[in-house]
């Protein structure tokens, strides 16, 4: 296992070297948010599958910058989320409770403006913070979108994303000293709570139906 400084240096190199990749992901995320604000909705199944794409992007960037651990982990997570997406309902996405929307927006903003590693001023962070490039901001944005979509009515998908996010948040904060990654932990816990509520609601419905 590389030491702390080596890991941090590698993340900084990827963040700054893959700046154009981050700019593209910011543009894609902006387009998605505009579409949602305009009332456009896709199926929960498609949403779950599409949200695996930025995870796959992190894997590709990690492989390019010779980080085999993140490359393999994020490739596995992307495949798992894409496969689990087939379990999601075909119904269209819908917003959940106000608390979910509030945390979801906060997580997207955190991923969008992630302040660590990137060199440059405010404009660089607005258009090219490492979304789709390194783990924590990417996971935060994906969690944010999932919360906006009411956890996509898929407990396994949500728990997979939340568990990986919680582990990376704790690793970033406790092992690497990037304490802002604890914000990701908050988002992961929120997604776990909502996924558990979904499960409880379904059991309640089944109980009364029987």
- For position 63, what pLDDT does the model report? 97
- For position 199, what pLDDT does the model report? 53
Say whether 51 sits in a helix, a strand or coil: coil
The sign of the torsion formed by the CA atoms of 202, 165, 27, 66 equals: negative
Question: Rounded to an integer, what distance in angstroms lies between the CA atom of residue 38 and that of residue 27?
Answer: 16
* Per-10-residue mean pLDDT, the chain, length 210: 91 97 97 88 90 97 96 97 88 85 95 94 94 98 92 87 97 95 96 78 43
- For position 89, what pLDDT does the model report? 81
CB 74 within 8 A of CB 59: yes
Segments of 73-165 assigned E as strands? none
Distances (CA, A) of 16 to 28, 124, 130, 196: 19, 10, 8, 38
């Amino acid at each position: 296992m590389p030491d702390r400084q080596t890991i941090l240096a590698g993340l900084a190199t990827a963040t700054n070297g893959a700046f154009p990749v981050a700019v593209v992901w910011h543009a894609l995320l902006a387009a998605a948010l505009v579409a949602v604000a305009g009332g456009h909705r896709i199926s929960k199944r498609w949403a779950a599958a599409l949200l695996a794409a930025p995870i796959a992007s992190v894997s590709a960037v990690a492989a390019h910058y010779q980080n085999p651990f993140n490359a393999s982990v994020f490739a596995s997570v992307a495949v798992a989320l894409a496969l689990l997406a087939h379990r999601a309902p075909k119904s269209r996405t819908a917003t959940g409770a106000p608390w979910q929307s509030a945390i979801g927006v906060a997580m997207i903003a955190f991923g969008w403006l992630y302040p660590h590693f990137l060199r440059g001023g405010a404009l660089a962070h607005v258009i090219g913070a490492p979304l789709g490039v390194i783990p924590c901001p990417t996971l935060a944005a994906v969690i944010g979108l999932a919360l906006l979509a009411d956890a996509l009515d898929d407990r396994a998908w949500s728990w997979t994303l939340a568990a990986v996010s919680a582990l990376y948040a704790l690793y970033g904060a406790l092992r690497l000293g990037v304490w802002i990654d604890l914000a990701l932990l908050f988002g992961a816990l929120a997604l776990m709570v909502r996924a558990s509520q979904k499960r409880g609601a379904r059991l309640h419905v089944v109980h009364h139906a029987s």
